Amino acid sequence: MLHIRDLYVNYGGIAALHGLNIDVPQGSIITLIGANGAGKSTTLRAASALVRARSGSIEFDGEEISQMAPHRIVERGLCQVPEGRMIFPNLTVMENLLLGAYRRNDRHAFPKELEYIFGIFPRLQERQKQSAGTLSGGEQQMLAIGRALMSKPRCLMLDEPSLGIAPILVKTIFEKIVEVNRQLGITILLVEQNANLALEISNYGYVLETGRVILADESAKLRENSQVKECYLGG
């Protein structure tokens, strides 16, 4: 579904990605792990056209998207939940959710989709009239995922969904990621510092280091890899 080939991205004079190659098959959960500065978030930002590639190819569903406007990419079904959630704090939970669907014309479908989102995240239903900025970190992450789901994505890119969330809610968030993948058939590309959790729920993983893929394998095999254990899984 998403194919990244020989991707180079710079921030000014600093190279962030060096010939990156990644495949995200339809229906899968793929994870990118690595240390801070490895290029994980840059990969997602490039796929969303929030940063422009210096060279290389990004194809989504057979279409080159590297030079496309970000909102056009969302319209095609590739949506990102950014690091730090980036919800609109002064708007209500419901207003945030509806903003996720701002490019859609099929308003008749919104009630059913909101019902699904409130079903997997009941706290959002309880707080739908509440200002989003008053939610806890975990609730804001639920809202960010729900907002992305309102865009009707076929592939969802999640950037550090466990960041700043109480441990008791992290497990819930990851369970819901798997549920969305299995129930709705949404392909997931996951960037996550918690490598143990990321490899536990994903099918395949890429290990990034200084903008390059240094390891790629089935997630179960990466969890048993001595290099991965030592560097990312705490021994």
Label residue 61 exposed, middle or buried (CB < 10 Å: 0-12, 13-18, 19+).
middle
pLDDT at residue 222 greater than cutoff 80 = yes
85, two tokens: 């959630």
Domain that holds residue 78: 2-85+153-232
- For residue 170, being part of any structural domain is answered with yes
C-alpha pair distances (Å), 87 with each of 81, 144, 161: 10, 6, 13
- For residue 168, being part of any structural domain is answered with yes
What CATH number is associated with residue 35?
A: 3.40.50.300
pLDDT band, residue 149 (cuts 50/70/90): very high
pLDDT at residue 129 greater than cutoff 60 = yes
Average pLDDT, the chain: 92
Secondary structure element (H or E) that encloses residue 181, with its range = helix 167-184
Averaged pLDDT for residues 74-90: 92
- For residue 22, being part of any structural domain is answered with yes
Q: Which amino acid is at 175?
A: E
- For residue 9, being part of any structural domain is answered with yes
C-alpha pair distances (Å), 151 with each of 6, 79, 101: 29, 8, 5
C-alpha pair distances (Å), 2 with each of 28, 100, 112, 168, 188: 11, 21, 28, 32, 10
pLDDT band, residue 104 (cuts 50/70/90): confident
Q: What is the pLDDT of residue 164?
A: 83
- For residue 162, being part of any structural domain is answered with yes
Q: What is the pLDDT of residue 147?
A: 95
- For residue 69, being part of any structural domain is answered with yes
- For residue 14, being part of any structural domain is answered with yes
Q: Which of 189, 83, 105 is nearest to 151 (CA)?
A: 105
Contacts of 116 (CB under 8 A, 6+ apart): 149
Overall domain count for the chain: 1
Q: What is the pLDDT of residue 235?
A: 54
188 in helix, strand or coil? strand
- For residue 140, being part of any structural domain is answered with no
Instruction: Pick 103 or 27 by higher pLDDT.
Output: 27
